[in-house]
Amino acid sequence: MSDISPAPHADEVVVTCALTGVLTNPQQHPVPVTPEQMAASASEAFDAGASVMHIHFRAQEPNRGHLPSWDPEVALAIAEAIRAACPGVILNFTTGTIGRDQQGALECLRAGKPEIAACNAGSLNYLKVRANGEWAWPPMLFENTVEKVEELLAVCGQENIRPEFECFDVGIVRSVGMFADVGLVARPNYNLVMGVASGMPADPELLEILPRYMKPGALWQTTLIGRQEIWPVHRKTAELGGHLRTGMEDTFYLPDGGRTTGNGQLIEALVAVAEQAGRKVVSPARAREIFL
C-alpha cells in the first residue's frame, strides 16, 4: 500500500461528461444518438464546464438507437461533430466489449483518434438481481484479460492515445499498479467505477481508502452509477482530490432527486459540487495540460 502524494494541481479539477452510454433506449430517455444530437448535448455539457466527453457509439438506423455500434465511420462522424461544436474539447472513446474480440473498438480508435481511450482493466461477472429474486439479465462475464488489455494499449501507443483504466473492484485497482510494474504503462490513470451491482458500491467510506492502493501521485476520477445517492460520493471525490465525471450514461438523477433533462443540467450540478468542495473547474486548455 502507498499513500497518494498531493499533486501540484490538487485544487484544480477536470470534469468529464459521459454523454450517452450503451443500450439505454432513446425512446424512453433523453440520450443522444446521432452525430447532431451528440454534438448538441456535448455543447451543453461543455458550456456548463465539462472539458472531456466520454463517448459511446450507437446504431444510426431508425429504431436501432438503443444498440451499440463499432462502425468507425459512425465514430468519426460523432467525433468530428463534437469537436466542431466544442473547440478544444478532449475526447474519450469507450472500448468496452463483453467478449475477447475488440477489433471494432480498435478500428474506432484509429478512425476517430481521441485523446483518451477507456481501458477496462480487469474481468467482472456482470450481474444484477431484481427485487423478485430473479436475474435482471442472464449472468455474463465482462472479459478483460491481460492479453486483451495489452492489445488495446499497443494501439493506444501507436495512435498517441492516453489509456484511462476503468476499475470495477479493488483487485482491478491493484492490477493497474502491476501493469505499471511490468512496463505496460508508464503513468497509470485510474477511473474508479462504483455502483455496478456486482462491482464496488458507490460508498464514500470505501472511496476514502481506495487511493492508498493506487500508484503515488496518480491521476484518478470516479464514475458513479446510480440515483440521488451518488452525489455525496461525488462530493467525497472532490474533497479527496479526484477528478469528476457524470452524464446520462451514469445517472438520470440530480442531487435533489429530480430527473435531469439533459447532460448540461448534470454537469452544472457537478460543477456546483466541485466548487462547494473548494475545487476549481479548469478550462479545456488546462485540462489538456493535466490529463495528457
Q: Domain for residue 6, yes or no?
A: no
Domain count, the chain: 1
- 220 to 68, 94, 111, 130, 186: CA distances (angstroms): 27, 17, 27, 32, 15
- Answer yes or no: is 23 within a domain: yes
Tens-place pLDDT, residues 215-252: 999 999 999 999 999 999 999 999 999 999 999 999 99
DSSP state of 119: E
- Residue 94 lies in domain: 12-291
Helices 146-159 and 103-112 pack at an angle, to 10 degrees, of 20
pLDDT digits (tens, 9 = 90+) for 88-101: 999 999 999 999 99
**Residue 2 falls within a domain, yes or no?**
no
Which residues does residue 166 pair with via DSSP β-bridges, in sequence order?
120, 191
Residue 183 lies in a domain: yes
* Domain annotation covers residue 196: yes
pTM over 0.85: yes
Q: pLDDT of 96-124, one tens digit each?
A: 999 999 999 999 999 999 999 999 999 99
- Examine residue 5 and state whether it is found in any structural domain, yes or no: no
> Rounded to an integer, what distance in angstroms lies between the CA atom of residue 191 and that of residue 133?
31
Which CATH number does the domain housing residue 230 bear? 3.20.20.70
Is 48 part of a structural domain of the chain?
yes
How is residue 9 written as a grid cell? 494541481
Flag whether 1 is in a domain. no
